[in-house]
A and B are shown apart, each in its own frame.
Chain A
């Protein structure tokens, strides 16, 4: 099975202190460390596991620049067979629709049975997966937390819905799935593994390689623009319960009960 996983390099939320910049129109990006978007990591692990069971290849692709190559390499160190960078000056400023357009152009050039994205990016809006599927006219399922390959070009998938419940579906290949965290336990990628793929070639494709009309992507084509960036005002803070441990527990249970937290 040929699987394409669309990944994104994002500022790591646990290793950065996200602050507004001086101008107040973006986050402070000077001292940021980046890593792969957490959902995408789960998606790549899932793809590697599927291919381990049924054979095939995993390709990781990202829309970006030279600095985004590092996440492609990291996922190749993890076990993805190929990495592809979609880079062009005209891609800059693309919104989710633009990114989906670029990805669609790449998918059209190749032959992929299954396309995975993460449910969302840490700095995104959970749109690319669904838009890509619509552009490709492929079936789409979001919040997937289990994939089973069936005979006859179908998958049996489980979607995560409210209350911790699961919805089980059958979906035809080729399709697009957005992967939820917790679908698996991603394997560790060590520094040694990354060093070993340091010189593996990663092809970069621009507008001409993808036969893409530049007016469909980039800032000009973006239909969503960011108007404001702000830190929400701080609230009152936590309510501290007083008393002995027993009293505090009783108060807490009562509060949870009155707010409807107990069935």
Chain B
């Protein structure tokens, strides 16, 4: 019986000395990987700049939260758990892999107790990863979760590639277990124990299965296991950059460099002054190279998990948009035009080839995709950039051209006259009980109520304006409105790519707000709220009316009477720009819960999983191709939750929901109202 098992380094593989063979494999493997990565970096070097080095400690913290901590993964519990286990296993085993590669003898990484604990953890990690691979493969092949499906227009299913990768990782675990198990089996035959292997782990099982194999066979399996692991490891390393698995390497960077400021939109070009911007030839993204390097990195990092599209309201109603495929198609384009081997060819327009115009206009910028993505891939900025490119080329749907022209000439998308902007304050019954100041230079106030277009001009939404004014009046707020001096906040104008028009609106409003001398701003429109807070600079701080009401209710200044209607069951619909983009979830709920006797239920999709009503601003003019309205889906969700009254805090949500109630024939069965309207009613 041989004394000890030969290590792979000592052995000879088909006449090649082991240490030499593995030196070659490791060197070639690393060189190949390095070459591939350099090739993958090529397009990023031609990309637009992106300033992502600010606030490095915050970024590092987010790496701990989202990358190491896998923060977003549990949102899908099953897949999330599996991924957390595999990721943890990957980190634990990476240390071992490196030790094996660098040492390729049998070097104990740690010694003593730590060594034994590490070995056990390592063995279980191998086992758990192996089991997860089997479970994941079965899930892919048999249970086929809906979000993995590939609609025909996007090509073939990705199942084959997915299962191939799962198989390779399983092979990696198997190779390692074979390497370990055969050695221990050998030692057991020589009188040793198998205690070094964790009980019921995969290597332990292998050792037990192999306990009756011949020493020669064990030696072969030992050397073979190492070779299998080695080759699989380096194959995977070099294969990953060719597909979605590249996220293994790029995820750390995409998380570190991820966008920090929710609710903002990237500038047309980072680091350019306004004068320099005037000289820029072309706005927006038209070719692949117009993307910033971070957006290209995002395309590499997309893991094809489908969580974004699974939550995308546009996708849910059959619009031609699926965020997942925005990334997948761009990545495929990049791989095709910047091949690892071969010449790069670039410069073809993206819209009209990989993307359709409708696909890009379909997005309501609700942010559900970004909220869901475990890799913090950004979508809204990319869509806005693509829209900027289309606007620059004049490719705007006719349905949007009219409101844009109206915004340019009248400062509102309806084309209504400026002098009629404050007409809503003159309504007969209203003006008798509430006088609203117009801050036209003579009148002064501490607080500005920024009304914005829809609440000022739409007959139905003017009720929100009046309710808000009454509430501000009741709490003793010294407030006024800008009246005809107020133009549209421009929130959607920017997000639909008309950056120049947006700036004109913003600059006008900024001047008017500053001239009014107000110390704070309140609005009942979350789009205006988001814009004033994030798109505007150097103006007074801004709050949404729901925040004001919540504070005054808590402080006792606003007393809400009991609900008399016992049959109403209320549910709160989180507006995208109040909730997801600005984190205001609790204040509106606090207000509702402060109304005695109010029965409230939560929809399944609430808070940061709220389902977009259909969009606001310019989106209400766009004529999409869809199977159903988003609002109708939302009304159905409310009914399913057992509600018959939908309360929301956004005029556009109210508009879309009320329309949806009519369109789906639920008039009389479902009602909708704004939080301000409800509070006005209950404050007496």
| A interface residue numbers (CB < 8 A to B) | 12, 14-17, 31, 33, 35, 78-79, 185-193, 195
Contact = CB atoms under 8 A, between A and B. Distances in A.
B406 A31 contact: no
Interface stretch (B387-395, B522-530, B603-611): B387-395
B409 A190 contact: no
B405 interface: yes
Given A17-B417, A195-B500, A188 B391 contact: yes
**Interface SS of chain B:** helix
Given A12-B415, A185-B398, A191-B500, 18 more contacts: A12-B405, A15-B410, A16-B415, A31-B417, A186-B398, A186-B401, A188-B391, A188-B394, A188-B396, A189-B394, A190-B498, A190-B501, A191-B504, A192-B283, A192-B499, A193-B392, A195-B278, A195-B500
B404 interface: yes
Q: Among the interface residues A12, A188, A189, which one has the most CB atoms of the partner chain B within 10 A?
A: A188
B419 A14 contact: no
Interface in B474-504: 498-501, 504
**Interface SS of chain A:** loop
A15 B498 contact: no
A196 to B, nearest CB: 9
A175 B248 CA distance: 66
B408 interface: yes
Interface string B524-543: 00000000000000000000
B207 to A, nearest CB: 71
A81 to B, nearest CB: 16
Contacts of B395: 187-188
Contacts of B404: 188
Q: Among the interface residues A31, A189, A195, which one has the most CB atoms of the partner chain B within 10 A?
A: A189
Contacts of A195: 278, 500
Contacts of A17: 417
Nearest to B401: A188
A225 to B, nearest CB: 31
A31 B500 contact: no
Given A187-B395, A189-B394, A14 B417 contact: no
A187 B397 CA distance: 8
B394 A190 contact: yes
B557 to A, nearest CB: 42
Closest 7 CB pairs of A and B: A187-B394, A188-B396, A15-B415, A191-B500, A192-B500, A33-B409, A191-B501
Contact of A190 (B278, B392, B398, B406): B392
Interface of B: 278, 283, 391-396, 398, 400-402, 404-406, 408-410, 415, 417, 419, 498-501, 504
A62 B401 CA distance: 23
Contacts of B415: 12, 14-16
Contact of B392 (A12, A16, A31, A192): A192
B409 A12 contact: yes
A188 B391 CA distance: 7
B409 A35 contact: yes
B622 to A, nearest CB: 13
Contacts of A192: 283, 392, 499-500
Q: Among the interface residues A79, A189, A190, which one has the most CB atoms of the partner chain B within 10 A?
A: A190
A33 B415 CA distance: 10
Given A187-B395, A190-B394, A192-B283, A35 B498 contact: no
17 contacts: A12-B409, A14-B415, A15-B406, A35-B409, A78-B394, A186-B398, A186-B401, A187-B396, A188-B394, A188-B400, A190-B392, A190-B394, A190-B500, A190-B501, A191-B504, A192-B499, A195-B500
Nearest to A189: B394
B272 to A, nearest CB: 14
B391 A190 contact: yes
Contacts of A14: 402, 406, 415
A190 B390 CA distance: 10
Nearest to B402: A14
B290 to A, nearest CB: 16
Contacts of A190: 391-392, 394, 498, 500-501
A177 to B, nearest CB: 22
Q: Among the interface residues A35, A191, A193, A195, which one has the most CB atoms of the partner chain B within 10 A?
A: A191
Nearest to A191: B500
Nearest to B502: A191
Contacts of B498: 190-191
Contacts of B410: 15, 33
Contacts of B402: 14
Contacts of A191: 408, 498, 500-501, 504
A190 B278 CA distance: 14
A145 to B, nearest CB: 16
A191 to B, nearest CB: 4
Contacts of B401: 186, 188
Contacts of A78: 394
Contacts of A189: 394
Nearest to B405: A35
Nearest to B665: A245
Contacts of B393: 187
A209 B189 CA distance: 112
A17 B498 CA distance: 26
Contacts of A35: 405, 409
Nearest to A14: B415
Contacts of B398: 185-186
Contacts of A31: 417, 419
Contacts of A188: 391, 394-396, 400-401, 404
A13 B500 CA distance: 25
Q: Among the interface residues B394, B401, B408, which one has the most CB atoms of the partner chain A within 10 A?
A: B394
A31 B409 CA distance: 11
A145 B283 CA distance: 33
Nearest to A78: B394
A17 B417 CA distance: 8
B484 to A, nearest CB: 11
A38 to B, nearest CB: 11
Contacts of A185: 398
B399 to A, nearest CB: 11
Nearest to A195: B500
A92 to B, nearest CB: 25
A193 B281 CA distance: 11
A15 B409 contact: yes
Nearest to A31: B417
B38 to A, nearest CB: 38
Contacts of A33: 409-410
B625 to A, nearest CB: 16
A144 to B, nearest CB: 20
Nearest to A33: B409
A231 B406 CA distance: 25
A15 B278 CA distance: 29
Contacts of B501: 190-191
A188 B399 CA distance: 11
Contacts of B392: 190, 192-193
B398 to A, nearest CB: 6
A2 B68 CA distance: 65
Nearest to B493: A191
Nearest to B409: A33
Contacts of A12: 405, 409, 415
